[in-house]
C-alpha cells in the first residue's frame, strides 16, 4: 500500500493476533493452563542487547502467553467480578494507545479532556446521581475510593477548622470511618494510603440480610457525636450483592455531620436498570460514590469512576497548579480532579462504550447478567449435593457442595467445595473462585461479562454437574 508507515505490517498482523484470540475464546479453556514455571521459562529470557524485529517480538509474546491468559473477556468467567470489553470500548482502547495522549490537562490533549467531560455527564445521568457532582476517571474502584475519601478527609476536617492539605494529619482531630463489617478490603487500603490507618475503621456487624441498620449506625455515631466522621455504605456486597438501606441510613449519618461514601464497584450500575434501580433508592443523597468501568460497563482494564457531590472538597483535595503548566481557564483539567499527573486517555473507551450501548444497551447488560446469575445458581441448585446459600437478587450468588457422608461437618463441606470448584476450573469449561461467607467456604457465582448467554449458562451448569459426578 502506498504511503504506508514502515510498521503498518506489524499493526495489521497485530489485528490478526487479536482476532485469532477472540475467535478461539468461546471454546478455549477459561482458566489458565500454563504453570508459573512454564510462563517464567518462556517469557523470562535474558535481557536482549540488540534490537529485535518487533513483529517477531509480538509473535513470540503471543506464543509465550499461551495458556497464561484467563478467559475473562469471554462468556463463562464467573470468578470475581470481572467484565469483558464491549466491541466499541475495545476498539477505542486500541486507538487510545495509538493516539498516546497525556490526558492530564486540556492544553496537552484537548479531545481527551472534552471526552472525559462528556463521560462525566453521561455517567451521572446513567447512575442517577446529582448532575452537579464532580468526577474523575481513575484506574479502578480502589483508586476511586482514594479520590473520594481524600475529598471526604478534606471536608470533615475543614468543618473542624483543620486544613489537611496544608497541615497534613499530624495533630489533626482523628477521623473515624464507620461501616458494615462486610465492606470490601479496598476501603482499608484506600484509608492506609490516605494516612488514616486501619484503626480509624469501626466495623459494625451487618444484619442477617447483609444490611447495616440505622439503629446500629446511630448507636455508634452517638458515642462520639462531634468526631469528624465518614460513613461508608455498600451498593452491591461482593458476595451477595446486597445494598444498604440508604433512605434510612444517610439521614442518620448526616444528622451527625458525617460524610457518606458509597462503595458501588459494580452495584452502582443497578441504578442503570429499571428492573433493579429500586435497590439504589436514596443513594443519590450520599456525598461520594466509587464505581468501576471495567466491571459491569465492560470497558477494558483499567477504569474506575470517582464521583463527589461536594465539588469544592474534591477540588481542594486534588487540584494542582505549577508555573510550568498551562492551565485552562475554560476547560476541565483532569489534573485538578485526579490523583494521577500524566495519565492515559482513559475516557475514550468509556465514551465509546456508553455511546455504542446507549441507556438501553447498558440496561440490557445489567439485566442479562442478573438473569444468567440466577439461572446458574438455581440450575446448579437442582443438582444432588448442591446447597444454594444465596439466590442472586442481582448478579452475585453463592453455592456450596455438600459432603455426602453421614455426620459431615462444615469443614467437610468446605473441603468438598474447594475440590469441586477446582475440578470445574480444571475442566476449562467455566471459571469460578471460592469465598468465605459467614465462616463457610462457598463457590461464588459472579456474572458481569457482556458475552455470557443462555448457551454459556447451560454449559456451565453441565460442567458443575460433571464435576460432581467425576
Ligand atoms: C472490585 C471491587 C472493588 C475494587 O475495585 P478495583 O476496580 O479492583 O479497584 C471495591 N469494592 C467492591 C465491592 C468490588 O467488587
- The rounded Å distance from CA 269 to ligand 1 centre is 13
- The rounded Å distance from CA 468 to ligand 1 centre is 31
* From 140, 237, 369, mutation site for ligand 1 pocket: most ligand atoms within 8 A of C-beta: 140
| Atom number, ligand 1, closest to the C-alpha of residue 236 | 13
- The rounded Å distance from CA 265 to ligand 1 centre is 5
Q: Each residue's pLDDT tens digit in the chain (470 positions)?
A: 567 899 999 999 999 999 999 999 999 999 999 999 999 999 999 999 999 999 999 999 999 999 999 999 999 999 999 999 999 999 999 999 999 999 999 999 999 999 999 999 999 999 999 999 999 999 999 999 999 999 999 999 999 999 999 999 999 999 999 999 989 889 999 999 999 999 999 999 999 999 999 999 999 999 999 999 999 999 999 999 999 999 999 999 999 999 999 999 999 999 999 999 999 999 999 999 999 999 999 999 999 999 999 999 999 999 988 777 777 778 999 999 999 999 999 999 999 999 999 999 999 999 999 999 999 999 999 999 999 999 999 999 999 999 999 999 999 999 999 999 999 999 999 999 999 999 999 999 999 999 999 999 999 999 999 999 98
Q: Among 21, 50, 2, 109, which Cα is nearest to 344's?
A: 109
- DSSP annotation of 332 reads -
- The rounded Å distance from CA 197 to ligand 1 centre is 19
Strand partners, 231: 178, 260
Residue 1 is predicted with a pLDDT of 58
Q: CA-to-CA distance for 59 and 57, rounded, in angstroms?
A: 6
Task: Give the global pTM.
Answer: 0.96
* Beta-sheet pairing, 229-234 with 176-180: parallel
Give the three cell numbers for residue 11: 499493526
Residue 85 is predicted with a pLDDT of 97
- The rounded Å distance from CA 247 to ligand 1 centre is 24
* From 83, 139, 238, 448, mutation site for ligand 1 pocket: most ligand atoms within 8 A of C-beta: 238
Question: Which residue's CA lies nearest to atom 5 of ligand 1?
Answer: 141
> Half-sphere exposure (CA, 13 Å, Cβ side) for 21?
21
- The rounded Å distance from CA 148 to ligand 1 centre is 14
Residue 14 is predicted with a pLDDT of 97
Strand partners, 288: 261, 308
Taking the alpha carbons at both ends of the chain, their separation in whole angstroms is 56
φ/ψ region of 67 (left if φ > 0, alpha if ψ in -120 to 50, else beta) reads: left
For each of the domains in the chain, give its residue range(s) and CATH number, in order of start.
Answer: 91-356 (3.40.640.10)
CB neighbours of residue 261 within 10 Å: 28
- Residues contacting ligand 1 via CB (< 6 Å): 81, 140-142, 184, 186, 236, 238, 263, 265-266, 292, 304
- The rounded Å distance from CA 189 to ligand 1 centre is 11
Q: CA-to-CA distance for 409 and 12, rounded, in angstroms?
A: 58
Question: Which residue's CA lies nearest to atom 12 of ligand 1?
Answer: 265
Reported in sequence order, the residue ranges of 264-361 that DSSP labels E, i.e. its strands, are 288-292, 304-308
Helix boundaries (H) for 140-257: 141-158, 164-167, 185-193, 214-221, 246-255
Give the three cell numbers for residue 405: 457422608
Residue 328 is predicted with a pLDDT of 78
- The rounded Å distance from CA 140 to ligand 1 centre is 7
Kindly give, in sequence order, each residue whose CB lies less than 8 Å from that of residue 247, ignoring residues fewer than 6 positions away. Answer: 281, 282
Residue that has been written with the C-alpha cell 466522621 in this structure:
229
Q: Among 65, 63, 62, 69, which Cα is nearest to 40's?
A: 65
* From 80, 81, 147, 186, mutation site for ligand 1 pocket: most ligand atoms within 8 A of C-beta: 186
Amino acid at each position: 500500500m502506498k504511503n504506508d508507515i514502515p510498521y503498518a505490517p506489524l499493526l495489521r498482523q497485530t489485528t490478526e493476533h487479536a482476532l485469532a484470540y477472540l475467535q478461539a475464546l468461546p471454546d478455549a479453556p477459561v482458566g489458565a493452563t500454563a504453570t508459573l514455571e512454564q510462563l517464567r521459562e518462556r517469557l523470562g529470557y535474558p535481557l536482549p542487547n540488540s534490537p529485535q524485529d518487533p513483529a517477531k517480538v509480538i509473535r513470540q509474546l503471543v506464543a509465550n502467553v499461551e495458556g497464561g491468559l484467563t478467559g475473562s473477556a469471554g462468556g463463562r468467567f464467573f470468578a470475581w467480578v470481572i467484565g469483558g470489553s464491549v466491541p466499541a470500548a475495545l476498539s477505542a482502547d486500541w486507538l487510545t494507545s495509538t493516539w498516546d495522549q497525556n490526558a492530564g490537562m486540556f492544553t496537552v490533549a484537548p479531545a481527551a479532556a472534552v471526552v472525559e467531560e462528556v463521560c462525566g455527564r453521561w455517567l451521572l445521568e446513567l447512575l442517577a446521581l446529582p448532575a452537579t457532582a464532580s468526577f474523575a476517571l481513575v484506574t479502578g474502584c480502589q483508586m476511586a475510593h482514594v479520590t473520594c475519601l481524600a475529598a471526604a478527609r478534606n471536608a470533615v476536617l475543614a468543618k473542624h477548622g483543620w486544613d489537611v492539605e496544608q497541615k497534613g494529619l499530624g495533630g489533626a482531630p482523628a477521623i473515624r470511618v464507620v461501616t458494615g463489617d462486610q465492606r470490601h478490603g479496598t476501603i482499608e487500603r484506600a484509608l492506609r494510603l490516605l494516612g488514616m490507618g486501619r484503626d480509624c475503621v469501626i466495623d459494625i456487624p451487618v444484619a442477617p440480610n447483609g444490611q447495616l441498620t440505622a439503629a446500629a449506625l446511630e448507636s455508634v455515631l452517638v458515642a462520639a457525636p462531634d468526631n469528624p466522621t465518614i460513613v461508608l455504605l455498600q451498593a452491591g456486597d461482593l458476595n451477595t450483592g446486597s445494598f444498604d438501606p440508604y433512605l434510612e441510613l444517610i439521614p442518620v449519618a448526616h444528622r451527625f455531620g458525617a460524610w457518606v461514601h458509597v462503595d458501588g464497584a459494580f452495584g452502582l450500575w443497578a441504578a442503570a436498570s429499571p428492573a433493579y434501580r429500586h435497590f439504589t433508592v436514596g443513594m443519590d443523597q450520599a456525598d461520594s460514590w466509587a464505581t468501576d468501568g471495567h466491571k459491569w460497563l465492560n470497558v477494558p482494564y483499567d477504569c474506575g469512576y470517582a464521583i463527589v457531590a461536594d465539588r469544592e472538597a474534591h477540588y481542594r483535595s486534588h487540584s494542582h497548579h505549577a508555573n510550568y503548566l498551562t492551565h485552562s481557564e475554560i476547560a476541565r483539567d483532569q489534573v485538578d480532579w485526579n490523583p494521577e499527573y500524566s495519565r492515559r486517555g482513559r475516557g475514550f473507551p468509556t465514551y465509546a462504550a456508553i455511546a455504542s450501548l446507549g441507556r438501553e444497551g447498558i440496561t440490557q447488560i445489567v439485566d442479562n447478567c442478573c438473569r444468567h446469575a440466577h439461572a446458574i445458581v438455581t440450575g446448579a441448585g437442582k443438582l444432588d449435593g448442591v446447597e444454594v446459600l444465596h439466590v442472586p437478587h442481582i448478579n452475585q450468588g453463592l453455592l456450596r457442595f455438600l459432603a455426602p457422608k453421614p455426620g459431615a461437618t462444615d469443614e467437610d463441606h468446605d473441603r468438598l467445595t474447594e475440590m469441586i470448584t477446582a475440578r470445574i476450573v480444571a475442566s476449562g469449561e467455566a471459571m469460578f473462585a471460592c469465598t468465605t461467607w459467614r465462616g463457610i467456604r462457598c463457590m461464588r457465582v459472579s456474572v458481569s461479562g457482556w458475552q455470557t448467554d443462555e448457551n454459556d449458562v447451560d454449559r456451565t451448569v453441565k460442567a458443575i454437574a460433571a464435576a460432581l459426578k467425576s
